[in-house]
Amino acid sequence: MSTAYGVIAVVLVMLATVLIGAFGIRLSRTTSDFYVASRTVSPLWNASAIGGEYLSAASFLGIAGLILVHGADMLWLPVGWTGGYLVLLVLVSAPLRRSGAYTLPDFAEARLESMAVRRTAGVLVVLIGWLYLMPQFQSAGLVLRAITGAPDWAGGLLVAAVVAVNVLSGGMRSITFVQAFQYWLKLTALAVPLVFLLSAWRAGGAPGLDAGDTATWALPLSGGREYGLYSTYSLILATFLGTMGLPHVLVRFYTNPDGRAARRTTLVVLSLLGAFYLMPAVYGTLGRIYLPGLRGGDMVVLTLPGRLLGGVAGDLLTALVTAGAFAAFLSTSSGLTVSVAGVIGQDILRGGVRSFRAATVVAVVMPLGLAALARALPVADVVGLAFAVAASSFCPLLVLGIWWRRLTSAGATAGLLAGGGLACGAVLLTLVGGPHTGLTGALLAQPAAWSVPVAFAVMVVVSLLTPGRIPPGVARIMVRLHTPETLDLDRGDWRPRSP
């Protein structure tokens, strides 16, 4: 593609992000504005913002790349990432909003009345956030190198700088406006080129897959990775349960006015994600037809317009896709930075706006350095590891904490350490040692199938063995979590520590 068009696209997205964020600065007056936008975000606006931050580099680039390389098995990723919101809707969204918390560690302290659980949850929030930020910076480097020839680290640094400026300036209030805009930009950036690509495909005789691809690549569990059955079910478990444990997703439900609005937000999110995830699979299939030998599947979305259309039209559409890709990096990185900075600011620093801003710098600098470790893995695989850690730690904490009053602080801590620790260990071995082969490689690359049951089992067993550690105020907080706001009961119980 034309370097000039690509640079212009990136610059325009950056400028739009900064300008929209600047609008949010005018509305950010209080600490609550910085952390949860004063809990005044409407369901449609909030759902657009969730779509903006949830549709990361893995969704925009990674799914199409994995489908290109591994075939139909990888369709479970968009199915799981969307279906996870059904679990979130049924089990978590409204009670979590009613908890009155600012962050996941706030919820842990409120439910279990334990600083040990809070600190453990805080560490896991930061680890999951950094693990999720790494592929955003990694992908930004790949895209910027493809359009300008810049070194790999330059794209990540550029994204980190813009995100830091927005978050430092206006916190959650600014990020909400930015992410909502970026969802619709990403949807447009995939949909418009796809219309032209499908037209070119039909004009070229609508070629299909060859016989070998039809027999293997296009059929689930027939030509994918080693131990495909285990990997598929483990992936399903990680994506369905990991969504409810992602800190940057959950923090958005704290911005709704009440539990009913949180549920409505989740319903709208399902529609928005469903519309988006129809498209990467088509890009992956077209890539298999026209670019079967493409090295680095993550670039298929950026490569197809030039390959099928060429000329000025191909350059312009590639520039549009590039703009959408950078919107994906920016929006997801912004949400992750807010959630990580919120925990660092409250639990490590002294709280308040000044601490939040200092924590923002820490939140983006660390994953910039760690991004180099993940270069050998596809983007969507690294994000999948973050889902596995979230499913193995916060999913059991939220499900049991909301629906089982016998959960104890000792049980919660032990489960977080067991499930989260095992999943983090698998992630570390995968990132440092690179992709492993055989059964060991499958267990490490997709740990959710064994780490999630371990986390649930440890939480339940240890809680049953320590009945004396049930929080004294459990009845009060359970009523708070499950009582609709319309009943207008006395809600003067626990409140999060003032940030």
**10 Å Cβ neighbour count for 2?**
15
Residue by residue, DSSP assigns 234-265 as: HHHHHHHHHGGG-HHHHHHHTTSSSHHHHHHH
pLDDT value of residue 33: 53
Query: What Å distances lie between residue 181 and 8, 168, 321, 478, CA to CA?
Result: 18, 19, 15, 37
Instruction: Tell me the torsion sign for CA atoms 72, 429, 298, 292.
Output: negative
pLDDT value of residue 177: 78
Please check whether residue 188 is in contact with residue 321, taking contact to mean a CB–CB distance below 8 angstroms.
no
Beta-carbon contacts of 241 under 8 Å, excluding residues fewer than 6 positions away, are 84, 87, 390, 391, 395, 448, 452
* Exposure of 118 in the CB half-sphere (CA atoms within 13 A): 20
Identify the burial level of 468 via C-beta atoms within 10 angstroms of its C-beta, where 0-12 means exposed, 13-18 middle and 19 or more buried. exposed
User: Rounded to an integer, what distance in angstroms lies between the CA atom of residue 105 and that of residue 65?
Assistant: 35
Buried b (16+ CB within 10 A) or exposed e, 407-422: bbbbbbbbbbbbbbbb
Q: What is the DSSP letter of 113?
A: -
Rama region for 494: left / alpha / beta (φ>0; ψ in -120 to 50; rest)? beta
Q: Which residue has the tokens 């950056």?
A: 14
Rounded mean pLDDT for each run of 10 residues along the chain, 499 residues in total: 81 85 60 56 81 84 86 85 85 82 83 92 90 85 83 86 76 74 92 95 88 76 69 89 83 73 84 91 91 78 90 92 89 83 79 78 84 64 85 94 95 96 89 76 90 97 95 91 67 47
Please check whether residue 199 is in contact with residue 414, taking contact to mean a CB–CB distance below 8 angstroms.
no
Q: Which residue has the tokens 């962050």?
A: 103
Structure tokens at 81: 């990432």
User: Rounded to an integer, what distance in angstroms lies between the CA atom of residue 323 and that of residue 252?
Assistant: 24
Please check whether residue 175 is in contact with residue 335, taking contact to mean a CB–CB distance below 8 angstroms.
yes
Structure tokens at 183: 């969802």
Cα torsion at 68, 72, 73, 77 (round to 10°)? 80
User: Rounded to an integer, what distance in angstroms lies between the CA atom of residue 158 and that of residue 47?
Assistant: 27
User: Rounded to an integer, what distance in angstroms lies between the CA atom of residue 201 and that of residue 130?
Assistant: 40
Which of these, 118, 312, 278, lies nearest to 187 by C-alpha position?
278
